[in-house]
Structure 1
Amino acid sequence: MPLVRSHYPFSAIVGCDAGEPDDLGLSLILTGISPQIGGVLVRGEKGTAKSTAARALAALLPPVDVHPADRFSTDPADPDDASPDGPFEPGGPLESRPVRLVELPVGATEDRVLGSLHLEQALSHGKVAYEPGLLARAHRGILYADEVNLLPDHLVDLLLDAAATGRVTVERDGFSMEHAARFLLIGTMNPEEGELRPQLLDRFGLTVEVAAPRDPAPRAEVVRRRMAYDADPAAFAARHRPSEEALAARIAAARSRLGEVRLPDAALHKIAEICAAFDVDGLRADIVTARTAVAHAAWAGRTTVTRDDIRRAARLALPHRRRRNPFDAPGLDEELLDRILGDDELPPDPPDGTTPPPPADGGPDGPDAGPGGDGPDGGGPTDGPGDGTGSGGSTHGPEGAADSDSTPQPGGTPALPDGAAPGTAGDEAPDGSRRTAPAAETTVKATAPYRPRLLTVRGTGEGADGRRSRALGARGRRIGADRPGHRGARGSLHLVETVRAAAARAGAARSGSVRAAGPLRLRPEDLRTSVREGREANLILFCVDASGSMAARKRMTQVKTAVLSLLLDAYRRRDKVGLITFRGQDAELALPPTHSVDIAAARLDGLPAGGRTPLAEGLLEAARVVARERRRDPRLRPLLVVVTDGRATGGKDAVARSLAAADQVASLGVSTVVVDSESGPLRLGLAAHLAARLHADHLPVREVSADALSTAVRERAA
């Protein structure tokens, strides 16, 4: 079968060149054999051949037959796959063409994806004609989205609708159009740049985690092949053409064998048992696992699904469907999977065709077996944040370091200044002596996150589409029209306002009361675009106090839970997040601004508490980060969230330097919220004074929860 080379050869990728490819190569091959699986999501660090493998797959797939004049690539053998360019003559000539690889850019417009009015036909001939978009071109082919996690929400919505229905409906610009859009969706992403919306994540049939090898030998081989390809791409492709043709022939043979593969009832029950044991949502996981197991059997040359086919399918189809919230690490407990599968091969169907009853015990260890016997995956507490185990009170150091912020301790021990934790290095006693006890640090975990109240940036911005603060942009409700390029005028062309502007100009140019005859002529200065008000994403910069006073009364647990809840809210609203911590003598940018909320949650989970409170250093570091991010993207508006009890004990003249730092932050004009972590019967109210100095909103930590705020409002209204 002839091959059309357009990219680096698939069989030349290290890991995809063996008789049994790795997970990346196998997942792409299986979806090529059975497109009904639903596509592949490839997650991994940069420089791991994610895009290279995805682009190379198209050359391995069998060509498709189409009508020569059909722009929509409908299937001539499928009577239900009607083309808007049809009808075509039955039995007419057909042409065979390679499978298309259509790339979906992150910055694509909605018109380019769905299709739009053919301007040349409209302007030259006065005809309303439809110009197909990217989804039409991808029909019966591959739609590839690099950095799929960075796609704006309106493009994700279009993909979800097309993936769910297999069709695209366009109602705009005076015409109505509907056409088929069934494609193999391949997405690649770097998790460090942000996560994927759960709705789109579930639409990918398979997912693969890739990482660069740590063994020097395969790393050297990757570099060797890449340099050979860059030196002479044609010669490199010619050397790998035999292996490419052999791989393409094997995929074509597996496709033809797909309808002959039998899925025994015992195998189907085993798949259902596995999906139930891993507590996946819905039944899509069962369907995808079954289809993948059948495709793997066809790839292996078998006509019956075996235990090994199910195992390989489950490892690819289930990891991304087990996630309960955005902070749960993806993955699969392979020990549990092996226990459910057992050691014996699956029994065949009875020869009389009757359906055998399912196993009474649900398998070797039962459908709910787990490492701890408490649920499908053990049910025990995990190390990740937000696991809902309520383990926030546990520490790795002395528990309950201080029970009061300023009162004497039992036994006559005097209280430490500013509520610092006992044993903190460098603390002063009332007599001026230095404490020599080693520094005490505690590390606590957050409890289950809750729904926080909505924090927004003041005013109206023009940032990227999101779900937090008010903004003027290309999406949202229309509030007016203006000349293109003016503030907020970034929407589509507004025909009515354009005609009205042209009419007003023409009327002003005419003298007298008699109107001149003739058509209305448009000029460039008459063009008007819509001004729309929607929501934007923001930079949420957390500045968290991790000093000894925060460790007192286990307040760090409450603080971490509040910040974790706000991080979860930032994930849902597509915000960028950053994390600054201050303790001891300095502040640290623990996480530079990023879209990866998962990493921020992990850094927060391991954050220790102890030492003095360098509040000034924390505020100054926040000011530097805000100024730097504004230079990088002037449209990205920050929201600074300072989590502290307001005490300043780090260094000489700590209070005066903190006030000066607060004035510097206030001069930036950034929207700020001070989350007051002070608790206990005796409160100094220092965080409220800090909020006033910052021109910020003051929010007690107990009121971060939206439910707590609603309860307080109801109590006051009663």
Structure 2
Amino acid sequence: MALSLLAVAPSVGGLLIRGDRGAAKSTAARGLAALLPQEGGHSAPFVNLPLGATEDRVVGTLDLDAALRGEARLKHGLMVQAHGGLLYIDEVNLLPDHLVDVLLDAAALGVVRVERDGLSAAARADFALIGSMNPEEGSLRPQFMDRFGLCVDVQAPTDPRQRAEIVRRRMRFETDSQGFTEQWQAEELRLRERLQAARLLFPSVHLPDALLSQIAGLSAAAQVRSLRADLVMHRAARAFAALEGRSEVSKADIERVAPLVLLHRRDPRLPPPFPSPTSQHPPGNPEPEAGQPPPPPDFNPQAEEIFAPTSNAAPLPVLVGKGAASSGSSLGEQPGRVIRSVPTSPQSNAPLHLPDTLKAALGRNLGGEFKLTSDDLRSAIHEPVGGRRVLFVVDASGSMGVAGRMGALKGTLLGVLNDKARRDRAALIVFRGTGAALALPWTTDAAEAEAVIAAVPTGGRTPLAHALELAAELVNAESSAELVIFTDGRANVPLTAGSDAWTDALHAAQALKNVSALVVDTETGRIRLGRAAQLAEVLGARYSVLETL
């Protein structure tokens, strides 16, 4: 239905399809191209935008061949080529942000403006934009996700009968593609005619003013702050009414399209339910293990509580040292590929971009003698390269509830995430009870991370060794990852029955010796074991104390 709405009204601003790999995201998108209304007897174009495309390739640029002949002509980019059809981006979450912004602007306005090398032109680019992505490979930035009008989450079917039918049809197509096409031709024709009729009806579809309150109420109930949601819902409801052959929108139409509009806009900072690790120990104050100080009076480390973050007074120290640290700190100094150029002066220290400098001179000297001047000089703007990868490992055991430690820890984490660069990715491991869990997979979305961190409960024992083993798995799978561990080091859950919990933790730390790491000591009180400092020494990590933050 979302694809049909987009075919009727490209002005809804595009469709984002999220889902598992192999869930037919791209197959559905390509199928829409065959159903788009045909103009002049020609099929609607289907343009696939590759991830490696430059901005000139997408937007358009000076036609260099024409310039050499003395003609001022702009070479259209992929957006103009997709006019009247569909522009599809697979793995849109991996596309550079500046290209996503340009694409969404053009999709919403139906026009692309090209300003290149002293020439300016506008061209119609009325296309349906579809982006697909696998959330496991990273999320789209919230401000860009909001720019997509509609969003659908898809999964491969789990019903064995549906899966068998998919395979059956696929095999039938591979065996006799012509016969398969003829079998469905009549149904495809009916759907194409329905889309064409709805497209013609859409401009005259009316939405009664009284229904605007319903639209606003649905957005407010989902705690959506962007007014774009209300505008998209208005257009989508009109498109749905047009599909039904009606010239006026009803309340049911709005309710039908609202989930497609609000799915990806709901405020992610609303606390999600957080699974509580089961404990094999009964409630109550457990007997301290040998070598462990007794817990504070009237404190039950098994009790579960969610502490609100408190503001931190100072930032975490910068990670420097082995492997990822040294390379991560210099990431900004390694330029990515050139995405565009800007005018520069001879006095500038910026490196000259020769191809665009020559193109600017050709555009200015059309039909005359070629001459290069300072006005033609262009410097390159490089695409930012990938940011840092930081894995946070957080002790959420019962002892963290003493003296507001968990609130301070959460405040420190949120401070770091709010200060992170655009392409930095973070992940979060939480350990408590009898094990460790990945509470937040790798993400660039600070709001998503904030929601998870704020909802982390505190209580239970301290399975430090389990957390270090899980951390080793994650950093080994993510190149150049860095590690930040918040703990008091008071491990009391062994990896195997009968072994020593602290010895297990030190042994697990050995697997992380080559990772750039920082250990933040959360231990407080008069009696301190200093185990976090010992852990930092084994890891070869930097050491800091939470109280100083």
TM (norm. structure 2) is 0.74
1:351 alignment counterpart: none
User: For 2:95, which of 143, 151, 154 is the aligned residue?
Assistant: 151
2:363 alignment counterpart: none
Matches within 5 A, 1:45-64: 45-64=20-39
1:646 alignment counterpart: 489
1:222 alignment counterpart: 166
**Aligned equivalents of 1:564, 1:46: Cα separation in 2:** 31
**Aligned equivalents of 2:184, 2:89: Cα separation in 1:** 26
Which structure is larger by alpha-carbon Rg, 1 or 2?
A: 1
Contact in 1 for aligned 2:429/2:438 (Cα 8 Å): yes
Task: Decide whether aligned partners of structure 1 residues 459 and 183 sit closer, same or farther in structure 2, where only a CA change above 3 A counts.
Answer: farther
User: For 1:253, which of 197, 200, 203 is the aligned residue?
Assistant: 197
2:55 alignment counterpart: 110
Question: CA offset at residue 199 of structure 1?
Answer: 1.7
Contact in 2 for aligned 1:547/1:612 (Cα 8 Å): yes
1:574 alignment counterpart: 423
Matches within 5 A, 1:83-232: 95-121=40-66, 125=69, 129-163=73-107, 166-173=110-117, 175-232=119-176
User: For 2:188, which of 244, 255, 266 is the aligned residue?
Assistant: 244
1:311 alignment counterpart: 255
3-state DSSP class of the match of 1:262? coil
Structure 2 residue 308 is matched with structure 1 residue 447: yes
Task: Decide whether aligned partners of structure 1 residues 562 and 132 sit closer, same or farther in structure 2, where only a CA change above 3 A counts.
Answer: same
**Aligned equivalents of 2:528, 2:322: Cα separation in 1:** 36
2:5 alignment counterpart: 30
Question: CA offset at residue 53 of structure 1?
Answer: 1.5
Partner AA of 2:332 in structure 1 = R
1:346 alignment counterpart: none
**Aligned equivalents of 2:414, 2:273: Cα separation in 1:** 11
Task: Decide whether aligned partners of structure 1 residues 584 and 308 sit closer, same or farther in structure 2, where only a CA change above 3 A counts.
Answer: closer
Structure 2 residue 376 is matched with structure 1 residue 537: no
Structure 2 residue 344 is matched with structure 1 residue 470: no
**Aligned equivalents of 2:188, 2:425: Cα separation in 1:** 42
Structure 1 residues 337-370: Cα deviation after superposition (integer angstroms, max 9, x where no partner): xxxxxxxxxxxxxxxxxxxxxxxxxxxxxxxxxx
3-state DSSP class of the match of 2:34? helix
Contact in 2 for aligned 1:471/1:533 (Cα 8 Å): no
**Aligned equivalents of 1:461, 1:475: Cα separation in 2:** 24
3-state DSSP class of the match of 1:47? coil
1:626 alignment counterpart: 475
Query: Which has the higher mean CA deviation after the structures are superposed, 222-231 or 544-553?
Result: 544-553
Contact in 2 for aligned 1:443/1:606 (Cα 8 Å): no
1:677 alignment counterpart: 522
User: For 1:265, which of 205, 209, 224 is the aligned residue?
Assistant: 209
**Aligned equivalents of 1:468, 1:42: Cα separation in 2:** 35
**Aligned equivalents of 2:383, 2:255: Cα separation in 1:** 50
Matches within 5 A, 1:291-690: 291-321=235-265, 323-325=266-268, 327-328=269-270, 382-384=271-273, 417-419=291-293, 441=302, 443-445=304-306, 447=308, 453=315, 458=320, 470-474=332-336, 493-494=353-354, 536-545=386-395, 549-550=399-400, 555-556=405-406, 558-559=408-409, 562-563=412-413, 566=416, 573-580=422-429, 590=438, 594-595=442-443, 610-615=460-465, 618-619=467-468, 622-623=471-472, 625-630=474-479, 637-647=480-490, 665-666=512-513, 668=514, 670-680=515-525, 682-688=527-533, 690=535
3-state DSSP class of the match of 1:97? coil
**Aligned equivalents of 1:702, 1:227: Cα separation in 2:** 65
Partner AA of 1:303 in structure 2 = S
Partner AA of 2:136 in structure 1 = E
**Aligned equivalents of 2:46, 2:355: Cα separation in 1:** 35
Unaligned runs of 5+ in 2: 341-350, 359-369, 372-378
**Aligned equivalents of 2:294, 2:396: Cα separation in 1:** 11
**Aligned equivalents of 1:171, 1:251: Cα separation in 2:** 35
Task: Decide whether aligned partners of structure 1 residues 51 and 399 sit closer, same or farther in structure 2, where only a CA change above 3 A counts.
Answer: same
1:39 alignment counterpart: 14
Contact in 1 for aligned 2:331/2:387 (Cα 8 Å): yes
**Aligned equivalents of 1:139, 1:282: Cα separation in 2:** 28
Structure 1 residues 490-512: Cα deviation after superposition (integer angstroms, max 9, x where no partner): x99545999xxxxxxxxxxxxxx
Question: CA offset at residue 699 of structure 1?
Answer: 4.0
Question: CA offset at residue 462 of structure 1?
Answer: 11
**Aligned equivalents of 1:677, 1:305: Cα separation in 2:** 58
Contact in 2 for aligned 1:42/1:210 (Cα 8 Å): yes
Question: CA offset at residue 106 of structure 1?
Answer: 2.5
2:344 alignment counterpart: none
Structure 1 residues 256-309: Cα deviation after superposition (integer angstroms, max 9, x where no partner): 222443322333343344434444324322222222222222211223222221
Task: Decide whether aligned partners of structure 1 residues 252 and 161 sit closer, same or farther in structure 2, where only a CA change above 3 A counts.
Answer: closer
Contact in 2 for aligned 1:194/1:595 (Cα 8 Å): yes
Task: Decide whether aligned partners of structure 1 residues 657 and 198 sit closer, same or farther in structure 2, where only a CA change above 3 A counts.
Answer: closer
Unaligned runs of 5+ in 1: 1-25, 65-94, 329-381, 386-391, 403-412, 423-438, 479-490, 499-518, 521-528, 631-636, 705-718
Contact in 1 for aligned 2:319/2:518 (Cα 8 Å): no
Partner AA of 2:5 in structure 1 = L
Task: Decide whether aligned partners of structure 1 residues 420 and 618 sit closer, same or farther in structure 2, where only a CA change above 3 A counts.
Answer: farther
Aligned pair count reads: 507
3-state DSSP class of the match of 1:98? coil
3-state DSSP class of the match of 1:324? coil
1:5 alignment counterpart: none
